Amino acid sequence: MEKSWDCIVVGAGAAGLSAALVLGRARQRTLVVDAGRQSNLVAHGIGGLLGNDGRPPAEFYAAGRNELAAYPTVELRSGEVVAGERRDGGFVLDMADGSRETARRVLLASGMDYRFPPLPGIPERWGRSVFHCPFCHGWEVRDQPLGVLDRGATGVHRALLLRVWSDDVTLLANGPAELESDDVERLRSAGVTIDERPVAELCGPGTTLTAVVLSDGTERRLGGLLVPVTLYQRSPLAEQLGAAAGSPGPVVADAVEVDSMFQTGVPGLSAAGDLSCQMPSVANAITAGSNAAAGIVRSVVAEAHGLT
Ligand SMILES: Cc1cc2nc3c(=O)[nH]c(=O)nc-3n(C[C@H](O)[C@H](O)[C@H](O)COP(=O)(O)OP(=O)(O)OC[C@H]3O[C@@H](n4cnc5c(N)ncnc54)[C@H](O)[C@@H]3O)c2cc1C
């Protein structure tokens, strides 16, 4: 092993860049490895991030990388960590290019895979007119006819939530809506239309949504569609390194379990951002990365001085 880093950060999205900034400012020898596939890259802009509201994600990540250039102990490398193991109280990570790096600490900030329903027309509009988070995208489609693809209790909550942005909201249950009578009444009094006809496809030019086509050929005019997503880990790396997944939440299937400083149960291994959270957002990822890095620096100092 030629060179051991103080910390390797896997992923340079909001969480990884934020962590690397704190680590660099604390003069930790830090390698950041990034495959360059941040989950929100397709979006027109970042909604709701103070100081950067509406900023195109690629521009935001470039600015974050530029800030790291001021810190000589941080190296940012394009690449992918394909495997890892714990060895001699530290970690060995294998890169896709065949190289191998070692570190005393590893911060996993590799984000999550957002999986949406398999309906024709969603993939090309994802992150634009089809979205999973009304706080991120609701403003951009405000006052247009909006749809919520969902059913049951979550469909009710999400349809009522979307009324914040439009008074023309349809719950597209894509089959039986599975609603309690109270909920039908709640939706009715909020002015939400319930449509149980199966959804065949979405239409509109490019990333724009103009309508959904229902199974009987009817078109329902829509300017935006809120869809349910489930987030899954992008790779088995956390598991390989011994980190445990917590219980599935309503949105995240297999988030890594961490404590309040984003440390996993494995000494020296932290996880921040979407990977270890139930409320994914850029702001939360920045906070998590920053706190995780502070925890890492404290743990290095504690170890060096025999503190428990
Ligand atoms: C379409 C869409 C739009 C969104 N819009 C908003 C919004 O407007 N506002 C908001 O607050 N939130 C938004 N979000 C949520 C937000 O994007 C995420 O919560 C946030 O980006 C998570 O940051 P992260 O650093 O954890 O992960 P990511 O941003 O996904 O970054 C992880 C990085 O790690 C890299 N990586 C993964 N595995 C490896 C590996 N093995 N080796 C090396 N690199 C690896 C990835 O390629 C990626 O570059 C949106 C999400 C989506 C999907």
- In this predicted model, what pLDDT tens digit does every residue of 9-28 receive, in sequence order? 999 999 999 999 999 999 99
Question: In this prediction, what percent of the chain has a pLDDT beyond 70?
Answer: 99
Question: In this prediction, what percent of the chain has a pLDDT beyond 90?
Answer: 97
What's the pLDDT at 308? 72
Which two tokens mark 126?
A: 């994802």
Best residue among 40, 50, 276, 277 to mutate for probing ligand 1's pocket (most ligand atoms within 8 Å of CB) is 40
Burial (0-12, 13-18, 19+ Cβ within 10 Å), 185: exposed
Q: 69-110, pLDDT tens digit by residue?
A: 999 999 999 999 999 999 999 999 999 999 999 999 999 999
What's the pLDDT at 2? 54
What's the pLDDT at 1? 45
- Give distance in angstroms: CA of 39 to centre of ligand 1: 4
Domains and CATH numbers, the chain: 4-114+229-304 (3.50.50.60), 117-226 (3.50.50.60)
Helix-helix angle 152-162:181-189, to 10 degrees: 10
Q: Which atom of ligand 1 is nearest to the CA of 18?
A: 25
242: CB partners within 8 A, 6+ apart: 86, 264, 265, 266, 269
In this prediction the pTM is 0.97
- Give distance in angstroms: CA of 287 to centre of ligand 1: 14
Which residues have CB under 6 Å of ligand 1?
A: 10-16, 33-40, 42-43, 46-49, 80-81, 109-111, 114, 126-127, 136, 234-235, 237, 273-275, 280-283, 285
- Give distance in angstroms: CA of 13 to centre of ligand 1: 6
Q: Which atom of ligand 1 is nearest to the CA of 229?
A: 53
Amino acid present at 161: L
Q: What is the mean pLDDT of residues 251-269?
A: 96
Q: Which atom of ligand 1 is nearest to the CA of 47?
A: 8
DSSP category for residue 155: H
- DSSP letters spanning 199-225: EEEEESSTT---EEEETTS-EEE-SEE
Q: How far apart are the first and last CA of the chain?
A: 28
- Give distance in angstroms: CA of 306 to centre of ligand 1: 36
Q: What is the mean pLDDT of residues 172-201?
A: 97
- Give distance in angstroms: CA of 278 to centre of ligand 1: 14
Q: Whose CA is nearest to atom 37 of ligand 1?
A: 110
Q: How far apart are CA 242 and CA 113, in angstroms?
A: 20
Distances (CA, A) of 160 to 41, 187, 208, 240: 28, 7, 23, 41
Q: How far apart are CA 36 and CA 129, in angstroms?
A: 23
- Give distance in angstroms: CA of 204 to centre of ligand 1: 27
